[in-house]
């Protein structure tokens, strides 16, 4: 997927949803009036989503001028001025909510990701996202994960194969599922299989697995899995990972740690946009 096209689609959908046929409140302002506004971040955060923010206003006023005072991916403190906007007052009023919605949501994802990345610093583990994203905003949220220092897992069902417990059951077992996957996967589509026990891990390794997801294993099991695998495959920890335990999981020696809460448990960053003289 092309990110620029996705931004256009996201913004068009957001404005259609919010504005509908008319922004009646904006009509209180003369059509020819210009305005200047300032956006401030009220909490510490990693800023993300500038392209979506800009596109909301440019779709309403192509001549709008937006001056960013911080870079995409910058970590800011509470009270930081993020950007200044100059343009038609009606466009600023109409686009405000949609623009802030993108910026506060994507900054929240980037901020949460940065916290996890910092928590595993000094280990080999990469922090990885999942498909547990807000519907219609997957590329946006995965951009935010990367901005926060994380790594993207597969984008969807089309670019990789993750063989989970129900796939294994339906296919007739780990060996059968892997064999079939290896036969049908096109070049460039990687294959990963989920295991829940050390016995399943050994079967997966014997069947030629190169990427293995350790589902809800405890720390002792993961340490044993790393020893058994001995570098023959990449190991990913998943399930029950929090900021409190992510470092301990990373210290087991796994290569990756996937965390659904990066994108599904979003608590928006507190932002404010105010007109100024």
What is the C-alpha separation between 201 and 199, in angstroms, rounded?
5
Average pLDDT of 95-106? 98
Q: Is the pLDDT of residue 97 over 80?
A: yes
If we measure between CA atoms, which residue out of 8, 147, 22, 130 comes closest to residue 73?
Answer: 147
Edge-to-edge strand order for the sheet containing 160-163?
A: 126-128, 256-258, 234-238, 211-215, 190-195, 160-163
* Alpha-carbon torsion angle 50, 33, 273, 69, nearest 10: 50
H or E stretch including 274?
A: strand 271-276
List % helix, strand, coil for the chain (3-state, nearest 5). Answer: 45, 20, 35
> Using one digit for the tens of pLDDT, what is the confidence trace for 140-150?
999 999 999 99
What is the C-alpha separation between 84 and 62, in angstroms, rounded?
16
Residues forming the active site: 97, 132, 164, 194, 215
Question: Could you give the residue ranges of the DSSP H alpha helices within 120-245?
Answer: 138-147, 165-171, 174-184, 198-206, 219-229
> Using one digit for the tens of pLDDT, what is the confidence trace for 5-58?
999 999 999 999 999 989 999 999 999 999 999 999 999 999 999 999 999 999
Single pTM value for the model: 0.94
> Using one digit for the tens of pLDDT, what is the confidence trace for 102-136?
999 999 999 999 999 999 999 999 999 999 999 99
pLDDT on residue 1:
66
- Cβ pair 149, 117 in contact under 8 A: yes
What is the C-alpha separation between 64 and 7, in angstroms, rounded?
18
- Using 50, 70 and 90 to split pLDDT, how confident is the model at 277? confident
């Amino acid at each position: 997927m092309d990110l620029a096209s996705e931004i256009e689609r996201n913004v068009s959908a957001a404005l259609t949803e919010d504005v509908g046929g008319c922004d009646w409140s904006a009509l209180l302002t003369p059509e020819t009036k210009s305005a200047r506004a300032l956006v401030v971040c009220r909490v510490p955060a990693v800023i993300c989503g500038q392209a979506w923010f800009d596109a909301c206003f440019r779709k309403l006023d192509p001549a709008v001028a937006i001056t960013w005072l911080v870079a995409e991916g910058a970590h800011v403190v509470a009270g930081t001025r993020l950007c200044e906007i100059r343009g038609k007052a009606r466009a600023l009023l109409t686009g405000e909510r949609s623009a802030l919605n993108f910026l506060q949501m994507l900054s929240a994802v980037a901020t949460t990701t940065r916290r996890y990345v910092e928590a595993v610093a000094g280990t080999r583990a990469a922090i990885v996202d999942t498909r547990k994203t807000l519907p219609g905003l997957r590329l946006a949220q995965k951009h935010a994960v990367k901005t926060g220092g994380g790594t993207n897992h597969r984008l969807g069902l089309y670019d990789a194969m993750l063989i989970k417990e129900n796939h294994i059951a339906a296919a007739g077992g780990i060996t059968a599922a892997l064999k079939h996957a290896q036969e049908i996967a096109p070049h460039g589509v990687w294959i990963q299989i989920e295991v829940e026990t050390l016995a399943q891990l050994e079967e997966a390794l014997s069947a030629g697995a190169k990427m293995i997801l350790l589902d809800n294993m405890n720390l002792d099991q993961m340490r044993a899995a790393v020893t058994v695998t001995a570098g023959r495959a990449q190991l990913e920890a998943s399930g029950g990972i929090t900021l409190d335990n992510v470092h301990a999981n990373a210290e087991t020696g796994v290569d990756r740690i996937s965390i659904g809460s990066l994108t599904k448990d979003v608590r928006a960053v507190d932002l404010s946009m105010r007109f100024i003289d």
